[in-house]
Chain A
Amino acid sequence: QKEVEQDPGPLSVPEGAIVSLNCTYSNSAFQYFMWYRQYSRKGPELLMYTYSSGNKEDGRFTAQVDKSSKYISLFIRDSQPSDSATYLCAMRVRTGANNLFFGTGTRLTVIP
């Protein structure tokens, strides 16, 4: 069983839609959760970084962590064509841990 499961999509939505991206994980020791955005032919770019359970909001993006269900989500409000990218979830047990455990990524296309 993989440490982190992520639906690869692809996901296509019209401009202005609310997008929900999700990951599940099996290791209850994970405490730090990240979402990266990766444009085609570029490296991953950190979008959101959260610790433990709860919500974190940054502009149109909201990250949610539910440790009891081992489930994390990224919501994008008022989606824009510039949001078209692959979204990777990542997590680790502690700060300073070298290994980030990544999902396989969800490919999102926002249609104008």
Chain B
Amino acid sequence: EADIYQTPRYLVIGTGKKITLECSQTMGHDKMYWYQQDPGMELHLIHYSYGVNSTEKGDLSSESTVSRIRTEHFPLTLESARPSHTSQYLCASSDRSGEREGRDTQYFGPGTRLTVL
């Protein structure tokens, strides 16, 4: 079982509020990711990080921002939540040192289900 945690698991919040979704992993993985998952749709990558102080945007445009100050921690922030941000947010991590042997599979956290009213 992967040791990757997300809090809160569920969040209902009003429009305009600032929110931070927490993600942490205890596996020492270099790479971390944020995906967005909507019902009946495929997962889309919105942010990723190669390591501390490294963050990149994914394929799906997102108004959220991320930071990576510590290896184990990769929080996602929305400065002003809107109903269009309602979705499931999934955090994942992988071991970069396993890439050459193809052992860099991504392990997912349980997700945060965000509802913006």
- State the A residues within 8 Å of B (CB): 2, 4, 8, 32, 34, 36, 41-46, 49, 51, 88, 90, 95-96, 98-105
Contact = CB atoms under 8 A, between A and B. Distances in A.
A51 B40 contact: no
B102 A4 contact: no
Nearest to A50: B102
Place the interface of chain B in its size category. Answer: 20 to 34
Interface of B is mostly: loop
Contact of B45 (A49, A98, A104): A98
A49 B105 contact: yes
A30 B42 CA distance: 17
A12 B92 CA distance: 30
A100 B106 contact: yes
B29 interface: no
Given A99-B58, A104-B41, A44 B108 contact: yes
B107 A104 contact: no
Interface in B58-117: 58-59, 90, 92, 96, 99-102, 104-111, 113
